[in-house]
Amino acid sequence: MSQSTSASASDPLARIAELPGVADAVADTRTLVDRLLGHRILRRRSSDVSMESALRGACASAALEGAEVSIDEIREGHVYDTRIKGALRVSGELGSLVGTWPKAPRQALARLHTLAAADAVSDDALGRPRIAGERVEDPLELGPAPAPETALARLEGLYSLLGVRTSVPALVMSALVHGELMSVRPFGWGDGLVARAAERLTLVERGLDPKSLVPSELGHQMLRDEYGPALRGYMGGTPEGVAEWVVYCCRAVRAGAQDSLATCEALKRG
């Protein structure tokens, strides 16, 4: 048995990391993120870059849900849309969930949804997986969501994977988390806000972006025309579709990292 085959057998996620194109995409993204993490301005302005990244990420995530709001309006406090309110709450509390995410992902997801949907759904639906007959929003036009019982089963599978000791890169795990949550759309409202936050949370918790400097949500907005098609490819379940989704997610993270590099340069110039 080859070393690669042996790794795949012992680590259920290794086969995804070994799909064509994935290793190169991960390496390219890691290089750019490391460049960001090494920027000199972070020695004294790291919190400023992180706060700007959080704001830009929240605005982008809400826009992907259909909200029409500019970042300037948010800075001025003109926030009325429930989606941007939810995105800002999620972004503001993401750091406090880093420790919870690997140990109690079910609890962390429930909290993310409660933050995202506080102004949009009834109190009894906050943090609770959807039940039969409840509407499922579909801003990315992904098509019908799986039945609630199927969604719950896949969520349990995701929780199990998050608890597995794995050597696969953070970018592979975060793409899988994002893809699974968008595929099952567990809550019916705000699933995109939750899925993109969970992707970012995974990147932070798994050490790629420990200071949460990369607005990966913004990367998805910048690549919006590719976002839905890439997700549908993942949902198809073929190795090719999964590989293309992971490569796409790497590109989105690179785009977010490039944006934060621009923020660093702007701060450097004063």
Residue for token digits 């943090």? Answer: 127
State both tokens at 83.
Answer: 């989606």
Among the residue ranges 56-65, 75-84, 109-118, the one predicted with the least confidence is 75-84
Q: How many CA atoms lie within 13 A of 85 on its CB side?
A: 10
**50: nearest Cα among 196, 199, 204:** 204
In tens, the pLDDT along 127-146 reads: 999 999 999 999 999 999 99
CA-to-CA distance for 172 and 177, rounded, in angstroms?
A: 9
Residue for token digits 């795990």? Answer: 173
Predicted local distance difference test score (pLDDT) of residue 229: 98
Helices of type H across the chain:
3-10, 14-17, 22-37, 42-64, 71-75, 82-93, 100-103, 105-117, 148-162, 170-184, 191-205, 216-222, 224-236, 239-269
Cβ-in-10-Å burial (0-12, 13-18, 19+) of 172 comes to buried
pLDDT greater than 50 at residue 6: no
Are residues 215 and 257 in contact, defined by beta-carbon separation less than 8 angstroms?
A: no
In tens, the pLDDT along 161-206 reads: 898 878 899 999 999 999 999 999 999 999 999 999 999 999 999 9
Are residues 111 and 127 in contact, defined by beta-carbon separation less than 8 angstroms?
A: yes
Among the residue ranges 65-74, 183-192, 211-220, the one predicted with the least confidence is 65-74
pLDDT greater than 90 at residue 255: yes
Predicted local distance difference test score (pLDDT) of residue 12: 74
**191: nearest Cα among 87, 71, 89:** 87
Q: How many CA atoms lie within 13 A of 164 on its CB side?
A: 15
Predicted local distance difference test score (pLDDT) of residue 77: 87
- Please list, residue by residue across 38-49, b when 16 or more beta carbons sit within 10 angstroms of its beta carbon and e when fewer do: ebebbeebeeeb
Task: Tell me the three-class secondary structure of 21-60, residue by residue.
Answer: CHHHHHHHHHHHHHHHHCCCCHHHHHHHHHHHHHHHHHHH
Q: Dihedral angle at the C-alpha atoms of 68, 215, 220, 150, nearest 10 degrees?
A: -100
The mean of the pLDDT values for the chain is: 94
pLDDT greater than 80 at residue 5: no
Predicted local distance difference test score (pLDDT) of residue 10: 66
207 φψ region: left (φ > 0), alpha (ψ -120 to 50), beta (else):
left
What is the mean pLDDT of the segment spanning 49-66?
A: 97
- All structural domains of the chain: 14-36+44-269 (1.10.3290.10)
CA-to-CA distance for 52 and 269, rounded, in angstroms?
A: 16
In tens, the pLDDT along 82-127 reads: 999 999 999 999 999 999 999 999 999 999 999 999 999 999 999 9
CA-to-CA distance for 220 and 248, rounded, in angstroms?
A: 9
State the CB neighbour count (10 A cutoff) for residue 131: 11
